[in-house]
Amino acid sequence: MRTRMRAAILIVMASACTPAPAPTPGLETPGPDAAAAPGGIIAPGARVRVKSRSGTFKPADTGHTAEVNVTSGKTGTVVQKLGESIRVRFDAQTWDEFPPTGATVDLKEFEATLHVSYLEPAR
């Protein structure tokens, strides 16, 4: 009985020493200047830019009557990390409507969510 008890205690102690999983790239703990930190840290408050086309934002996201293309160069501020996704407050800027008709629209500031792989720190 005593041997079993010791074995159980050793197992519990060993499991407490298991290292934590590595953080997902781009979601590390922010440093003193998260927006400009090396390694692409994306944390709440950091300024970010869309680095590649990532689909469209729907009217429910933007308040506009049509979808808009999410193209590279659009900028905003990180509001919240949601696992692999990032909630961004996009700046007031010009967006292209979708489907592509050549029409552009100047949208006010709005919040929407993108996967971390489409974002990079704005410099």
pLDDT tens per residue, range 58-75: 999 999 999 999 999 999
pLDDT (mean) for 100-114: 93
Nearest to 50 by CA among 78, 25, 29: 78
CA dist 5 and 122 (Å) reads 56
CA dist 55 and 121 (Å) reads 19
pLDDT tens per residue, range 1-14: 667 666 666 565 55
For residues 62, 68, 70, 73, the Cα torsion angle rounded to the nearest 10 degrees is: -90
Give me the pLDDT at residue 42, please.
76
Give me the pLDDT at residue 37, please.
41
pTM summary value: 0.66
| pLDDT above 50 (res 87) | yes
Give me the pLDDT at residue 21, please.
47
Q: Which residue has the tokens 């994306």?
A: 42
| pLDDT above 90 (res 24) | no
